[in-house]
Amino acid sequence: MIMKKLIAMSLFTATVMCSQAQVYVQGGLNLSNITNTKSGQTEKNNILPSFNAGIMARFGISEMFDLESGMLLSGKGSKAETYFTNSRDDNYVKTKFNPMYVEIPLNAVVKIPLGAKSKSNIFVNAGPYVAIGVGGKSKVDTRIISVNSSSSKNIKFNNDDPFTSEQDNAAYDKLKRFDYGFNLGGGIDFGKFMLKANYGIGLAKINSTQSNNTADDKNKFRTFSISAGIPLGR
């Protein structure tokens, strides 16, 4: 049932994109993190580099305003490094937590032309997103008294139906399959390509046993992205 709804959503998104004026491929760098305080703050040294890639479309509403949607493969997560002595070459534990999501954003875009006859513009965008977890890995590297060890395992997601209130198949070692949040961004469209910056604010607690998303802002994704887009058929 869940997969049927997701396939229908994907087909609808693809149909809309193919029927509009500006379709572009996008790829870039994600700097992801996870909040660890009640107020939604993160630790700067926990930023995990990852990537985003996919296809997006702008619907061609007007020269000043547009809507944008598409489908992106987006890496999220965080990392942590713990050192037990002053040495950075020994006696440490390093962890990386890198889940991958298929994300569908829907942004309102406001464009400011750079000239009367120019195709270039500066733009700002904002809007919601929904995402489904599709994979990823967690990795732990340790070095204690010059002895190395390493382990890696696939990230597990619970098989939750997002249209019900309860968490199905929840467990402490699993993530929620579905994430949602809000995007804020902007950039420059040069006509033949565009540069974008975006900040994704996750609103769902990522652990599958956490059902109250409004209790505080711990354990939510925060993702800063820098991307390039290349229009197709322009």
Question: Which pLDDT value is given to residue 89?
Answer: 86
Residues in contact with 75: Cβ distance below 8 Å, sequence separation at least 6, in sequence order = 30, 32, 48, 50, 51, 52, 98, 99, 100, 101, 136
- Per residue in 218-233, pLDDT tens? 999 999 999 999 998 7
> Phi/psi of residue 45, each to 5°?
-80, 5
DSSP state of 234: -
Residue 33 to residue 45: CA distance in whole angstroms: 9
- Per residue in 165-177, pLDDT tens? 778 888 888 999 9
- Per residue in 4-57, pLDDT tens? 555 455 555 555 545 546 899 999 999 999 999 999 999 888 999 999 999 999
Name 5's bridge partners. Answer: none
Residue 172 to residue 217: CA distance in whole angstroms: 18
Higher-confidence residue: 60 or 183?
A: 183
Average pLDDT, the chain: 88
Q: In what helix (H) or strand (E) does residue 13 lie, and over which residues does it extend? A: helix 2-18
User: What CATH number is attached to the domain comprising 98?
Assistant: 2.40.160.20
Residue 82 to residue 95: CA distance in whole angstroms: 9
Residue 68 to residue 111: CA distance in whole angstroms: 12
Q: Which domain holds residue 138?
A: 2-232
Question: Which pLDDT value is given to residue 211?
Answer: 84
Number of domains in the chain: 1
> Phi/psi of residue 60, each to 5°?
70, 40
Residue 43 to residue 45: CA distance in whole angstroms: 6
Residues in contact with 217: Cβ distance below 8 Å, sequence separation at least 6, in sequence order = 35, 37, 38, 39, 40
Residue 163 pLDDT more than 70? Answer: yes
pTM: 0.87
Helix, coil or strand: residue 136? strand
> Phi/psi of residue 177, each to 5°?
-65, -35
Half-sphere exposure of residue 221: CA atoms within 13 angstroms, side-chain side:
35
- Per residue in 68-118, pLDDT tens? 999 999 999 999 888 888 888 888 888 999 999 999 999 999 999 988 777
Higher-confidence residue: 180 or 118?
A: 180
Rounded to the nearest angstrom, the gap between the alpha carbon of residue 103 and the centroid of all alpha carbons in its chain is 7
